[in-house]
Amino acid sequence: MNKKTVWLTGGGTGIGKDLTKLLCDNGFDVVISGRRKDKLIEVAKYNKKKIFPYKLDVSNLKETDIVAKKIIKKFKFIDLLVLNAAIYSPGSLKEISPINAKKVIDTNLTGIINCLPIIVNTMKKKQKGHVIFVSSPAGYRGMPGAGLYGVTKSGLTFLAETLKIELEQFNIKVQVVHPGFIKTPMTDKNTFPMPFLMSSEKAAKIIFSKINSNIFEIYFPKMLLIPMKILSFLPYRIYFYLIKKFVKLPE
């Protein structure tokens, strides 16, 4: 196959780290970005000739524009953009902190949007490209404990759905990923049992296996996600009743 270039945000840990290695092993040049330079450099050691680290806080628009322009200047074109950067911030919404809300929204939603214009505009000009949004089933429907994280992921899935429709005319493929509980440094902070907990290596393999498919939503594990999907289809009256009956409210 022709050599292709990927830009993967949040490439220093978790799914981003393992997906980077898989893409690299399968012939891609992989640009990775993230806030922690040391983590990026560690990942790049896997193959210094094919993995290119860029320190970046996607919540900073000016910094994101500068880095995106540097990437386009060096690589000319990004075939695949994987938007994986996120802050994990679950919990009750009974007491909302505007400062914390801004931090989460700026990374998980605004930060994703910051990465799009320069890359997507080059894709439009070339009439080709591929964008993958790594969202979460926490955004399927209002859920106790999903907190600001769920709010941003709901918005991110909406964004992916909209761009899927709007970018088809430019031959740009859009996919969204809804992973269940994945063992990463982010989820290590959880104090509750995580059903069907999966390794980031396995999650990365599932995502990679679907990259060349025409599937819009990549979701796993199905034992957890299918019941959540069924819940999302229920009328509000039934949904709220079941949630109140079976889901423990956060303290």
Per-residue pLDDT tens digits for 46-81 = 999 999 999 999 999 999 999 999 999 999 999 999
- Residue-wise pLDDT for 104-131, tens only, equals 999 999 999 999 999 999 999 999 999 9
Whole-number Å distance between alpha carbons of 8 and 186: 18
What phi, psi does 183 have (nearest 5°)? -75, 105
Between the alpha carbon of residue 44 and those of residues 2, 38, 92, 251, the distances in Å are 22, 10, 37, 41
DSSP state of 107: I
Catalytic, 88? Answer no
Q: Which of 149, 219, 239, 241 is catalytic?
A: 149
For the beta carbon of residue 172, count every other beta carbon within 10 angstroms. Answer: 20
Q: Would you say residue 251 lies in a domain?
A: no
- Predicted local confidence at residue 251, as pLDDT: 61
Q: Would you say residue 165 lies in a domain?
A: yes
Q: What is the 3-state secondary structure (H, E, C) of 78-100?
A: CCEEEECCCCCCCCCCCCCCHHH
- pLDDT-derived band of residue 206, with 50, 70 and 90 as boundaries? very high
Whole-number Å distance between alpha carbons of 107 and 58: 6
Specify the pTM: 0.93
Q: Residue 201's domain is classified under what CATH number?
A: 3.40.50.720
- pLDDT-derived band of residue 1, with 50, 70 and 90 as boundaries? very low
Question: By mean pLDDT, which of 28-32, 40-44, 186-190 is the weakest?
Answer: 186-190
Q: If you average pLDDT over residues 150-173, what whole number do you get?
A: 97
| Residues of the chain above pLDDT 70, percent | 96
Whole-number Å distance between alpha carbons of 188 and 152: 20
Q: How many domains does the chain have?
A: 1
- Residue-wise pLDDT for 168-197, tens only, equals 999 999 999 999 888 887 776 776 677 888
For the beta carbon of residue 32, count every other beta carbon within 10 angstroms. Answer: 29
Residue-number span of the structural domain to which 13 is assigned: 4-246
- Predicted local confidence at residue 173, as pLDDT: 98
